Amino acid sequence: MNYNTFRNYYYISSILKIDGIGIQKTVQLLSSFEDLYFIANSNIASITTIEGINPSQAAQILKINTNENFIKSEFDKFSSFLEKNNTELITFLDKDYPYLLKNIYTPPLYLFIKGEITKADLSSVAIVGTRLPTAYGKMQAEYFASSLSKNNVTVVSGMARGIDTISHRNAIENRGRTIAVMGTGMDVIYPSENRNLFNSIIENGAVITEYDFQTKPDSQNFPRRNRIISGLSLGTIVIETRKNGGAMHTANYAFEQNRDLFAVPGNISSKLSEGTNQLIKENRAKLITTIDDVLNDLNIPKLKTTSEEQNIPELNLFEEKIYQIINDEPKQVDEISSLAKINTSDCLVHLFGLEMKNLVRQLPGMYFIRN
């Protein structure tokens, strides 16, 4: 972290602490004045030209300590603290602030980061859903996360239990990039059982939060952080959620941010499909069944996966037949058996052979998909 970044953080965080001044008014301040120094050295009349800022708030802005020696001493302490915690800090004013995120209505004005956000993350898609998915929901999360990763698309989610965790893990398992947005401080891993996942995400992407260190899990933090999940992404995929589930908050943000919104249809009798089916019914989200639906809509080219390019090992007659049937869309063993005209027990034997050759993968419910 350089000194200018900290100075920006110091001013921004000081302004945000003033009662009644939120992100949007601060963004207006930053847009109206050439530099933070211009705000600090301005006057009440100039600051109150910003809609919604009253003279009392303007006076408090002008009281922010602008002594360079004081700020420098704070910088030395804070930069040492961040270095000790292997954490980076960027602000809304920095050049490396995520481009997609900068273009939402209420962007976070600073972010703490573990890991690295790169240019590759300009192709990002969020996957969100219930914390208690069915076998069907788990299968869909695995499928879409792994398929996005295989096409060099970064998977963004919130590191919560359920769909979030499955999405992050499958991105990592398929050597893809993934970004987790937390609703706590960087030193408060929530849920605690995701500590190992937290460390894996850092090695394969980034963990980010707008919350200061020591911020505990709070019910109001998580809906607020959801705007960042959708804001970092070209589009958002919703997999299994109740009508009032947290994933619906993310869906609403994606819709408001004019980002593409996708929903995986579910069982009409399941409470966990009410939210996704409602999004589709109201034409707010596009119904998707394969990765092609997402890639085509976002104009992301699908990477070729021909046998020659994958260096597929030699297959016997039955393995070859089964392999041609299986694709990027999960298929149940009975369907594979029927299409291959092989009895189920023999089909399972050959599927096991394909698994050993790392060509197919079994999903919950005896579904199979290509690796």
Reported as a single tens digit per residue, the pLDDT across 124-149 is 999 999 999 999 999 999 999 999 99
CATH of the domain at 355: 1.10.10.10
* Dihedral-angle region of residue 258 (phi above 0 means left; psi in -120 to 50 means alpha; beta otherwise): left
Q: Structurally, how many domains does the chain consist of?
A: 3
Q: Is residue 36 predicted with pLDDT exceeding 90?
A: no
Q: Is residue 310 predicted with pLDDT exceeding 60?
A: no
Question: SS3 for the chain, per residue?
Answer: CCHHHHHHHHHHHHHHCCCCCCHHHHHHHHHHCCCHHHHHCCCHHHHCCCCCCCHHHHHHHHCCCCCHHHHHHHHHHHHHHHHHCCCEEEECCCCCCCHHHHCCCCCCCEEEEEECCCHHHHCEEEEEECCCCCHHHHHHHHHHHHHHHHCCCEEEECCCCCHHHHHHHHHHHCCCCEEEECCCCCCCCCCHHHHHHHHHHHHCEEEEECCCCCCCCCCCHHHHHHHHHHHCCCEEEEECCCCCCHHHHHHHHHHHCCCEEEECCCCCCCHHHHHHHHHHHCCCCEECCCHHHHHHHCCCCCCCCCHHHHCCCCCCHHHHHHHHHCCCCCEEHHHHHHHHCCCHHHHHHHHHHHHHCCCEEEECCCEEEEC
Judge if 271 and 313 occupy the same domain: no
**pLDDT the model gives residue 171:** 97
Residue 103 domain flag: no
Please compute the mean of the pLDDT values over residues 35-49 and round it to a whole number. Answer: 86
More confident residue, 266 or 312: 266
Residue 19 domain flag: yes
Kindly tell me the sign of the dihedral angle through the C-alpha atoms of 184, 187, 193, 196: positive
Q: In terms of residue numbers, what domain contains 66?
A: 3-84
Sole residue written with tokens 């993968």: 361
Residue 112 domain flag: no
The alpha carbons of the chain give a radius of gyration, in whole angstroms, of 24
Last residue of a domain, one of 270, 297, 324: 297
What confidence tens digit (pLDDT) does each residue in 356-370 have? Answer: 888 888 887 788 888
What confidence tens digit (pLDDT) does each residue in 238-272 have? Answer: 999 999 999 999 999 999 999 999 999 999 999 99
Judge if 280 and 143 occupy the same domain: yes
Cα(111)–Cα(209) distance, integer angstroms: 6
Residue 258 domain flag: yes
**pLDDT the model gives residue 309:** 46
Judge if 177 and 316 occupy the same domain: no
Judge if 224 and 162 occupy the same domain: yes
Cα(229)–Cα(44) distance, integer angstroms: 36
Mean pLDDT of the chain: 92
Judge if 162 and 21 occupy the same domain: no
Residue 43 domain flag: yes
- Could you tell me the pTM of the whole model? 0.83
Tell me which amino acid residue 54 is. N
Residue 51 domain flag: yes
Cα(4)–Cα(90) distance, integer angstroms: 10
Residue 264 domain flag: yes
Residue 341 domain flag: yes
Structure tokens of 226?
């959801």
